[in-house]
Amino acid sequence: MKTLDDLIADGVQDRFVLLRADFNVPLDGFTITDDGRIQAALPTITKLVGAGAKLVIAAHLGRPKGGEPGGRDPKMSLTPVAGRLGQLLDQRVRLADDVVGYSASANTERIDKGEIAMLANVRCDPRETGSPQEREQLASELAALVPGGAFVSDGFGVVHREQASVVDVARKLPAYAGDLVARETEVLRRLVGDPARPYVVILGGSKVSDKLGVLSNLLPKVDKLLVGGAMCFTFLAAQGHDVGGSKLESDQIDTCKDLLSRYADTLVLPTDVVVASEFAEDAQTRTVGVSDMPEGWLGLDVGPQTVELFGSHLTDAATVFWNGPMGVFEMAPFAAGTTGVAEAVADSPAFSVIGGGDSASAIRAAGLDESRFGHISTGGGASLEFLEGQVLPGIAVLEEGA
């Protein structure tokens, strides 16, 4: 696929460029609580602005339903994003009131080389996720905003989505991969190709069913797969343990039994867990062995012995991939497992890849230096689908035009 460097070599001085970014950041009201995805887009944006492009950014926030006429939803406005991006770049970012309407057209026409306009939350236009015909119509209108322009795909967190601003517009304009998408693709191909060994994967999160595809695809390829998070309780139940009131997918127990029987030497499960009397930050808590869970109590984190066990598999690892927290890290009493594993990954000599989503947020919440990790992905779902072996539409369409 063609890259941002190819586009700049072709020339972008005084030329429109439509950039699809992933600015789906967490908000507390109108305050951004983690600007990691905005920071990750800066290299591509600064390259384009520095080369004299007239930059138009399309991005989404949340999953708006309905909204006001013209593609607006006050609760999911990109206003905080435009403000933060402007701060980071020390320049004004013009935010339109609509996606492809009068305001978008007026803002786009008004920018000069090296300046930036941002469209309203693209998912506020229902055609973004609509039928193929609706998506193509929106893509045509997006392309019309940037006459003679090019398209740069740099929102890795959405490349697994068949959406107008991700796939269809790439067929309307000369299309290129931004630095972020190119780097993410390169790193993940390294993981599914011939990674340096030992290769260790850490999976957490709430449901086995959500990770079944990646489990099935990776287990034959990795040296160790460490299981934490709420999903570990379904595996523990499959081993015959009473998991109390912990989250349990009863319909996945037989699947877990099968995986445990086939990959007994590969799968590593917790040996102790932090349990609570209820799902609350001020609940009573205990750390117990996995065979000693109190009746009715909930497992909400892995225990210190498990952190040590998992860490022992990372000390001589050459490649590590981690996706999913070890517990309910948003609550202080249940954050130690995730933080401990994050520190163990950071201390490992391995090339480490953090699979986006909550794992990336947990690293930032723990205050760990991101340079201690080989790569922190911006796309949890996209990363997992890539590792499952699925075709990502937003990558495939870039390869079509190579």
Q: Is 358 annotated as a binding residue?
A: yes
Q: Mapping DSSP to helix (H, G, I), strand (E, B) and coil, where does residue 199 land?
A: strand
Residue 198, preceding peptide bond in cis (omega within 30° of 0)? yes
Which of 20, 37, 54, 224 is the catalytic position?
37
How many helices (H) does the chain have, and how many strands (E)? 14, 17
Which of 340, 357, 379, 394 is the catalytic position?
357
What is the distance between the alpha carbons of residues 46 and 33, in angstroms, rounded to a whole number?
A: 23
Q: Is 215 annotated as a binding residue?
A: no
Q: Which residues, in sequence order, are CB contacts of 32 under 8 Å at separation 6+?
A: 25, 26, 38, 80, 81, 84
Residue 211's nearest CA partner among 230, 194, 224 is 230
CB atoms within 10 A of CB 288: 16
Give catalytic status of residue 37 as yes or no: yes
Q: Is 359 annotated as a binding residue?
A: yes
Give catalytic status of residue 36 as yes or no: no
Residue 247, token pair as written in the block: 């989250």
Q: Is 123 annotated as a binding residue?
A: yes
Q: Is 379 annotated as a binding residue?
A: no
Q: Is 22 annotated as a binding residue?
A: yes
Q: Is 62 annotated as a binding residue?
A: yes
Give catalytic status of residue 357 as yes or no: yes
Q: Is 244 annotated as a binding residue?
A: no
Q: Is 250 annotated as a binding residue?
A: no
CB 147 within 8 A of CB 357: no
Residue 390's alpha-carbon distances to 188, 263, 395, in angstroms, are: 12, 23, 11
What is the distance between the alpha carbons of residues 355 and 352, in angstroms, rounded to a whole number?
A: 10
Q: Mapping DSSP to helix (H, G, I), strand (E, B) and coil, where does residue 134 land?
A: helix
What is the distance between the alpha carbons of residues 21 and 165, in angstroms, rounded to a whole number?
A: 10
What is the distance between the alpha carbons of residues 324 and 344, in angstroms, rounded to a whole number?
A: 15
Q: Is 389 annotated as a binding residue?
A: no
Q: Is 23 annotated as a binding residue?
A: yes
Q: Is 356 annotated as a binding residue?
A: yes
Q: Is 20 annotated as a binding residue?
A: no
CB 140 within 8 A of CB 172: yes
CB 346 within 8 A of CB 368: yes
Which of 207, 247, 257, 364 is the catalytic position?
207
Residue 247's nearest CA partner among 268, 224, 228, 266 is 228
Give catalytic status of residue 381 as yes or no: yes
Counting beta carbons within 10 angstroms of the beta carbon of residue 296, is it exposed (0 to 12), middle (13 to 18) or buried (19 or more)?
exposed
Q: List alpha helices for 28-78, DSSP H.
A: 36-50
Which of 52, 114, 213, 381 is the catalytic position?
381
Residue 181's alpha-carbon distances to 1, 124, 227, in angstroms, are: 11, 24, 28
**Positions at the binding site for (2R)-3-phosphoglycerate:** 37, 123, 161
Catalytic residues: 37, 207, 357, 381
Per the annotation, binding residues for ATP are 211, 299, 330, 356-359
Q: Annotated binding site: which residue ranges?
A: 22-24, 37, 60-63, 123, 161, 211, 299, 330, 356-359
